[in-house]
Amino acid sequence: MSKSLNENICEASTFERVYNKYADDIHNFLYYKYGAQFNPRDKAQEAFIKLWDNCKKVTFAKAKSFLFTVANNMMLNEIKHQKVVLNHTKTKPKHYTNETPEFVLEEQEYLNAYNKVLSGLKEEQRVAFLMSKVEGKKHSEIAELLGVTQKVVEYRIYSAFNILKKELEGFKIK
């Protein structure tokens, strides 16, 4: 009997015996204590992986205690992690800026005027201008996508730029 208590768990047959004996008990223990939301089956499996990793340190007599302790600790760690995640989702990002209300209002008015002028451009001009300045495409890429020559694309962008510059006060672009 004392030999079986000190058996090496690293042997496959002994480990399999321990697994068959305690797997369902550990799952049921975790399920009844914590519920299904924290995946008790997975935690039970992870406990057996830890047992296998530490098989030289754990005797057959201590295997049950080791498994239940490890599985319970894993579940507690998961609950702590979920609390951190929950607290993180509760914190709201800041919705304020350091700009003055006047600046924010001017910015919004300028954006509205910009969008109004953009919508007044011919479709060809607007498409070429936005592909160049917003998407950062090269003139040759735009020409290929639109099926026109590069000179046509350059003209459309140039004419759109001139209209925007004329209609919007202080309009500059890089």
Residue 16 has which token pair?
């399999």
- Do 107 and 114 form a contact (C-beta atoms < 8 A)? no
- Do 26 and 47 form a contact (C-beta atoms < 8 A)? yes
Task: Give me the amino acid identity at 3.
Answer: K
- 10-residue mean pLDDT profile of the chain (174 residues): values are 62 90 90 84 91 88 90 90 84 73 86 88 89 89 90 92 84 68
Instruction: Give Dmax over CA atoms of the chain in angstroms.
Output: 97
pLDDT at 1: 40
pLDDT at 174: 60
The phi and psi torsions of 59 (rounded to 5 degrees) equal -85, 170
Cα separation, 161 vs 167, whole angstroms:
10
pLDDT at 155: 93
Which one of 3.90.1530.10, 1.10.10.10, 1.10.357.10, 3.30.230.10 gives the CATH number of domain 114-167? 1.10.10.10
pLDDT at 154: 93
Each domain of the chain, given as residue ranges in start order, spans: 2-90, 114-167
